[in-house]
Amino acid sequence: MTAPPSLAAAPWLAAAETRRLFAALVRDGDEARVVGGAVRDALLGLPVTGDLDVATTAAPDVVTARATAAGLKVVPTGIEHGTVTVIVDGRPFEVTTLRHDVETDGRRAKVAFGSDWAADARRRDFTINALSVDPDGTVHDPVGGYADVLARRVRFIGDAQARIREDYLRILRFFRFHARFGGGEPDRAGLVAAMRLRAGLARLSAERVAAEMRRLLVAPGAAATVATMSDTGLLQPVLGGVALIGRFARFTALAAGHAPAAPALVLAALAARLPEDVDRLAARLKLAKAERARMAAAVDAAADIARGDASPAADRRRAWRHGREGARDGLLIAWAEAGEAADAGAWTGRLALVEGFAPRFPVAGRDLTARGVAPGPELGRILAALEARWIASDFRLDRAALLAETPMPTAPPTP
């Protein structure tokens, strides 16, 4: 079996803040290592971003005492689970005492602290997440995670069904990690376990499900992974309805060059054709108001585009009515809906038009009040009429031309 390479030269491991934390914790026989995502990403050749997770044999109170004595700030962010956040020169580190599970119920676990690195690794979800690196750069691999890194395989540690029963969210994490890091088909044992235990998804909170889906849908391999979830009956329970797999696959390919990966937009492309679909998804996943609004705008714009007129003037009107973001989102969904025979050049041109269209209505309320129009409903009616005239001119009429059309109030008769 190939041994993992040293990570001694990794910038995040050699950083002054990391060294200062290790200096505070590694003493009196205790050890500390960086664990999880940073090690996995470094071995995959990916940039290491975000906070570093550190595991240690020292108990939480000992971690707190040692960090405080070293002049570091300690925040008890998850003390009941053995986790504190240590802030070193402004950089946060999540430091967790080694643990083993005492009891699990499919959503949360009761843990006991320990000093066994292998036992701590075995309680994690996937082999690629159980790698750790000590201060000198030596990578420790107790469950064969490095072989899976090389194979780009997401595999549960030990018995897949046992890992899922500990926390049913691991079903979605399995697919999310495969979409992000995996290659080819999902690991068979993990896939079968997820299928057999899919009823457990109903025990999860909407918030936890939504958090996983947001990350899954924008991962590089989302299209193929979501198709697998649909084929195996694991997607419909999450969405509460039918997914548009073909449209989603086309959308992800198109959006890569035209739009940032916004989870709300991607979710709309996957599962929303009608306003009722948006309402269902927003309620089922307890989405934020801004997410619901973006989905609704995209679906509304896509329906508008599907009704016919593809002229530049019509697209300019859509960009004004739906906003540039809404019109662009709608065009991407409508393009994906059009299928493989769609004229890529024509759709690309339409996207460029709405993305570059930023008109500004040249008349404001103060322009009318300066001409004697009193604030109130009449002012609003006149502004609306002028805006309609401006739109009808294909946004060409300027302020002077529009004001020339403004009816001036009639002066009251002299008593």
18: CATH: 3.30.460.10
User: Are residues 275 and 311 both part of a single domain?
Assistant: yes
| Domain end among 151, 179, 199 | 151
What DSSP assignment string belongs to 189-208?
Answer: HHHHHHHHTGGGGGGS-HHH
Which of helix, strand or coil describes residue 103?
strand
User: Are residues 381 and 342 both part of a single domain?
Assistant: no
pLDDT-based confidence at 261, cuts 50/70/90?
confident
**Predicted pLDDT at 257:** 75
The tens digit of pLDDT for each residue in 134-188 reads 999 999 999 999 999 999 999 999 999 999 999 999 999 999 999 999 999 999 9
Element (DSSP H or E) covering residue 98: none
**Predicted pLDDT at 275:** 96
pLDDT of 33 higher than 60? yes
pLDDT-based confidence at 296, cuts 50/70/90?
very high
Q: Is residue 190 part of a domain?
A: no
Distance separating alpha carbons of residues 44 and 24, to the nearest angstrom: 29
Alpha-helix runs per DSSP H in 307-364:
312-338, 344-355
Find out whether 355 and 292 touch, Cβ atoms under 8 Å. no
Element (DSSP H or E) covering residue 359: none
**Predicted pLDDT at 107:** 54
Q: Is residue 16 part of a domain?
A: yes
Q: Is residue 184 part of a domain?
A: no
Q: Is residue 170 part of a domain?
A: no
User: Are residues 393 and 320 both part of a single domain?
Assistant: no
Percentage of the chain modeled with pLDDT above 90: 85
**Predicted pLDDT at 304:** 94
User: Are residues 247 and 379 both part of a single domain?
Assistant: no
Looking at the DSSP bridge assignments, the partners of residue 33 are 55
- Radius of gyration (Cα) for the chain, nearest Å? 28
Element (DSSP H or E) covering residue 160: helix 160-166
Considering the entire predicted model, what is its pTM? 0.89
Q: Is residue 39 part of a domain?
A: yes
**Predicted pLDDT at 112:** 77
What DSSP assignment string belongs to 218-263?
Answer: TSTTHHHHHHHHHHTT-SHHHHTS---HHHHHHHHHHHTTTS---H
User: Are residues 324 and 397 both part of a single domain?
Assistant: no
The tens digit of pLDDT for each residue in 397-408 reads 999 999 987 766
pLDDT-based confidence at 205, cuts 50/70/90?
very high
Q: Is residue 392 part of a domain?
A: yes
User: Are residues 6 and 97 both part of a single domain?
Assistant: yes
Which of helix, strand or coil describes residue 406?
coil
Distance separating alpha carbons of residues 164 and 54, to the nearest angstrom: 24
Choose the weakest-confidence range: 56-65, 86-95, 209-218, 255-264.
255-264
Host domain of residue 381:
365-404
User: Are residues 354 and 374 both part of a single domain?
Assistant: no
User: Are residues 133 and 42 both part of a single domain?
Assistant: yes
User: Are residues 52 and 92 both part of a single domain?
Assistant: yes
How many separate domains does the chain show? Answer: 3
**Predicted pLDDT at 110:** 63
pLDDT of 202 higher than 90? yes
User: Are residues 313 and 376 both part of a single domain?
Assistant: no
**Predicted pLDDT at 133:** 98
pLDDT of 344 higher than 60? yes
Q: Is residue 203 part of a domain?
A: no
User: Are residues 293 and 372 both part of a single domain?
Assistant: no
The tens digit of pLDDT for each residue in 96-122 reads 999 876 555 545 556 678 899 999 999
The predicted model gives 359-369 an average pLDDT of 93
Distance separating alpha carbons of residues 232 and 408, to the nearest angstrom: 68
User: Are residues 341 and 306 both part of a single domain?
Assistant: yes
| Domain end among 122, 151, 180 | 151
